[in-house]
Structure 1
Amino acid sequence: MSSDSEAGLGGAGNDLRKPFLHTGSWYRMGSRQSSLMGSSQVIRESSISVLACVLIVALGPIQFGFTCGYSSPTQSAITEELGLSVAEYSWFGSLSNVGAMVGAIASGQISEYIGRKGSLMIAAIPNIIGWLAISFAKDSSFLYMGRMLAGFGVGIISYTVPVYISEIAPQNLRGALGSVNQLSVTIGIMLAYLLGLFVPWRILAVLGILPCTILIPGLFFIPESPRWLAKMGLMEDFEVSLQVLRGFDNDISLEVNEIKRSVASSSKRTTIRFAELRQRRYWYPLMVGNGLLILQQLSGINGVLFYSSTIFKEAGVSSSNAATVGLGAVQVIATVVTTWLVDKSGRRFLLILSSAGMTLCLLVVAASFFLKDIVGIESSWHNAFSIISVVGVVAMVVCFSLGIGAIPWIIMSEILPINIKGLAGSIATLANWFIAWIVTMTANIMLSWNSGGTFSIYMFVCAFTVAFVYLWVPETKGRTLEEIQYSLR
């Protein structure tokens, strides 16, 4: 993009974006005015300011997780009240992924045109409508429509939140703050599991509205992504946003110049021809980003999380819903550990450790189900193999949370070049949700067919993921987004 066109985007053509750029009177004040605000009114520490922004946008992934977890504790109640078959309920469970695919297609372009904050505002509206439709459903049609709408919002959220976090975070905190995205997803899943024990499925759907109803007003109190503002040619807003994020006492001149250089070099031409995607700077991040997000879903994690109650019941656990809540709690704890480790041990190490651990756990689970069928229900070994399979499923979720759950989204948001981030991010998110839909649509049916065989398929995928990470995935720990892009060139 030329300087003239950048100026145009910052001028009259930008009027459509202005409602999403201004975030309250404090945000518009530059560093020269900060002394007038008083020390109690200004966030002076970069880490505190960025953390506040991350905690607000983290309400989106909580909504994401609640959507994923909702189908597990409600299966029996919904199928009985509305008379759904296993196949029909599988459609209900998987339709959130279909909606997310549609949202993923739009997410990159919406996020590029009206900004990261505007994109999250748009995502919140269909989420709210979808949950209301589910709560008032009298038949499967309203149930399906609500699930689709909630999924559409989730599709936008799943791309926008990790991108926003990566663009506002300092390089030394980007991994940890990026992991908050997955941590919030696990909290949302656990809340759905836990509340599902005590409230009817219709009330649970109403409670699903809460994260987005809090998110919408919260977005007015945080700044827009400075890198997006710079790309749009809004240089005054860009510097003010970055100053707010880094603290008014901090010198941001070096970071400002680095971002400006990166934006200038990537904006010389906005249209990328298909032939140019053969350049390493494009095909390599596309391959890594898409590959990690596809393999993340092919591991079968959504099938486990969506239908964990069914899996535990199949394994012989008497209180399968209570076990599911325990699974959600374990996942949250493991993700907290990842948040602490990711900027210390690095992305590659955690990905390899996570995938290798999942491979071993899935091997144990598959073998347990096979042996349980062989020995028969009358054997004394039957209960032992049931316990082993449950422990293996829990350990698989722990290993997933230690790396492959959070890090693919972090790496995707870090390595995609800024001039193709919208389109490439949409493609990567679409691929993720398409595979998630296939997994959630088939998981219930495959588990009914052969539990041991199902987990064996997931095991081979995890083993391949270890090799993929070892051969292709770069280490991005401790590097600025601009440094990462320079290395890909």
Structure 2
Amino acid sequence: MSSNRDDASAAEDGLRKPLLHTGSWYRMGSRQSSIMNSSAQFIRDGAVSVVFCVLVVALGPIQFGFTCGYSSPTQSEIISDLGLSISEFSVFGSLSNVGAMVGAIASGQIAEYIGRKGSLMIASIPNIIGWLTISFAKDSSFLYMGRLLEGFGVGIISYTVPVYIAEIAPQNMRGSLGSVNQLAVTIGIMLAYLLGLFLNWRVLAVVGILPCTILIPGLFFIPESPRWLAKMGMTEEFETSLQVLRGFDTDISIEVNEIKRSVASSSKTATIRFTDLRRKRYWYPLMIGIGLLVLQQLSGINGVLFYATNIFKSAGVSSSNAATFGLGAIQVIATGVTTWLMDRAGRRLLLIVSSSIMTASLLLVAVAFYLEGFVSQNSHLHSTMSMLSLVGLVTFVIAFSLGVGAIPWIIMSEILPVNIKGLAGSVATLMNWMTSWAVTMTANLLLVWSSGGTFTIYAVVSALTVVFVTLWVPETKGKTLEEIQWSFR
């Protein structure tokens, strides 16, 4: 009997020890083999559960996208009804980013203390209040207040949803399921563009509450992240959650032990402070996450999406609202293709291809706008330049959707170690929203200054993204979260 107890104690100690370098390849190989053997069982039993969870939380990014797309079809109507200037409307458009900065600061800590589901429920409430405030606004102050509130909710959503999806998804589906986050954002943008063709801006704001009002009850039907439950020491709930996600007939013992080992290793470290992020095992993945999320925004995507209708007007497109909706629909299709490609082509290759095509298409738009200034508006050459700028913008959005749109959020949720995910994830998300605010605030003003110059700046940033990814971003396809995070040690 004592021998059995000793063996059990040794086994338990083994779970608390990190993988040693010596012999780790053998253990990884055994684990990979066992995972492959249970994959067929998972496809039959667990995939439906995971996909259902992803579809429920995807209502959050749909809300995110609707917020981004709302300002484009409503600009002229809101300016006319409330007597705003272009600068005042630019403030309105950018205030969602200011609210999202505050939400980003709080998001990591909220998600760590009350869980991924709890933080999404909290995020839904200011979103609903914000949309209702906008719909009843009589002046700019209520308009601004509503935009700030919905931005706060979006800031929490933008961090929590990718993290939740990454933590519940099996490694062979994590890329595809993770890109559903960006797919849902593009669906939200497209819906805002489409409904903006037919609805008054106040009615459109009321429609904006729907995703979150459906999300709140939906959260009661999905399990909490098993990795968060394990970190909080809720062993029984953790194993139950993982069993539900993988299927009741699937052997989860290997994955359970791997997660326990990772959590036990992390728990040996004291509470993480900002000063601790200077250690290489922390700052290197954090810098990759921040770099990708900042470069994503500096490409100008939010400037294009927030003010697409006005950009098309300045390019000489007669039916600018219809063109804006077409742009949103194309973005949805391209992001859908990315969902299929993510676990086949890999993150790194898609990022390089995506940012390279973005660079070329932005240069095309810049050249078209430059040349338009030298030709008569009634000439055949002017219409040709308008068509080139339209083609360039569409190509840019497609290329963005193929990689730079979805992958930075996926990689950020994959590479941050579990013990710093709350703090480091908040920092990375905050930097993303700060950059988004700067781009959104300046886009309209830059376009008034020089359309060609604006797109030249965005093209240079996209070229820098190619260099950044080539030099520093690792491939994470086909690895468990624990393997990815151990690689930075």
Name the counterpart of 1:53. 53
1:377 CA drift (Å): 2.0
1:273 CA drift (Å): 5.1
The 5 A counterparts of 1:139-154 are 139-154=139-154
Change (3 A) 1:226 1:47: same
- Say if 1:351 and 1:407, in contact at 8 Å, map to a contact too: yes
Deviations 1:114-138 (A, max 9, x none): 0000000000000000000000000
After superposing the two structures, state which structure 1 stretch, 62-71 or 375-384, moved more.
Answer: 375-384
| Partner Cα distance (2:438, 2:289) in 1 | 19
The 5 A counterparts of 1:99-248 are 99-248=99-248
Tell me if 1:355 matches 2:355.
yes
3-state secondary structure, aligned to 1:62: helix
| Partner Cα distance (2:66, 2:417) in 1 | 31
Name the counterpart of 1:284. 284
The 5 A counterparts of 1:2-41 are none
3-state secondary structure, aligned to 1:45: helix
Share of identical aligned residues, percent? 77
3-state secondary structure, aligned to 1:277: helix
Name the counterpart of 1:412. 412
Structure 2 unaligned residues grouped into runs of 5+:
1-42
Name the counterpart of 2:480. 480
Tell me if 1:467 matches 2:467.
yes
1:278 CA drift (Å): 3.4
Moved over 6 A (4+): none
1:45 CA drift (Å): 1.3
3-state secondary structure, aligned to 1:233: coil
Aligned pairs, number? 448
Deviations 1:352-381 (A, max 9, x none): 000000000000000000011122324321
Give the structure-2-normalised TM-score.
0.91
| Partner Cα distance (1:400, 1:182) in 2 | 11
Name the counterpart of 2:16. none
| Partner Cα distance (2:50, 2:271) in 1 | 32
Name the counterpart of 1:66. 66
| Partner Cα distance (1:276, 1:395) in 2 | 42
Deviations 1:14-59 (A, max 9, x none): xxxxxxxxxxxxxxxxxxxxxxxxxxxxx97111110000000000
- Say if 1:270 and 1:419, in contact at 8 Å, map to a contact too: no
1:276 CA drift (Å): 4.0
- Say if 1:44 and 1:249, in contact at 8 Å, map to a contact too: no
1:325 CA drift (Å): 0.3
- Say if 1:44 and 1:248, in contact at 8 Å, map to a contact too: no
The 5 A counterparts of 1:255-404 are 255-272=255-272, 274=274, 276-404=276-404
Deviations 1:261-310 (A, max 9, x none): 00000111232355543332111101100000000000000000000000
One-letter amino acid matched to 1:391: V
| Partner Cα distance (2:230, 2:97) in 1 | 33
After superposing the two structures, state which structure 1 stretch, 262-271 or 235-244, moved more.
Answer: 262-271
3-state secondary structure, aligned to 2:53: helix
Give the structure-1-normalised TM-score.
0.91
1:105 CA drift (Å): 0.3
| Partner Cα distance (1:460, 1:196) in 2 | 32
One-letter amino acid matched to 2:322: A
1:239 CA drift (Å): 0.3
3-state secondary structure, aligned to 1:74: helix
Deviations 1:209-228 (A, max 9, x none): 00000000000000000000
Structure 1 unaligned residues grouped into runs of 5+:
1-42
Name the counterpart of 1:35. none
Name the counterpart of 1:94. 94
| Partner Cα distance (2:367, 2:96) in 1 | 31
| Partner Cα distance (1:401, 1:132) in 2 | 30
| Partner Cα distance (2:285, 2:432) in 1 | 15
Deviations 1:129-186 (A, max 9, x none): 0000000000000000000000000000000000000000000000000000000000
One-letter amino acid matched to 2:198: F
One-letter amino acid matched to 2:153: G
3-state secondary structure, aligned to 2:263: helix
Deviations 1:299-348 (A, max 9, x none): 00000000000000000011100000000000000000000001000000
3-state secondary structure, aligned to 2:179: helix
3-state secondary structure, aligned to 1:297: helix
3-state secondary structure, aligned to 1:98: helix
- Say if 1:65 and 1:188, in contact at 8 Å, map to a contact too: yes
Deviations 1:372-398 (A, max 9, x none): 112232432111001100110011000
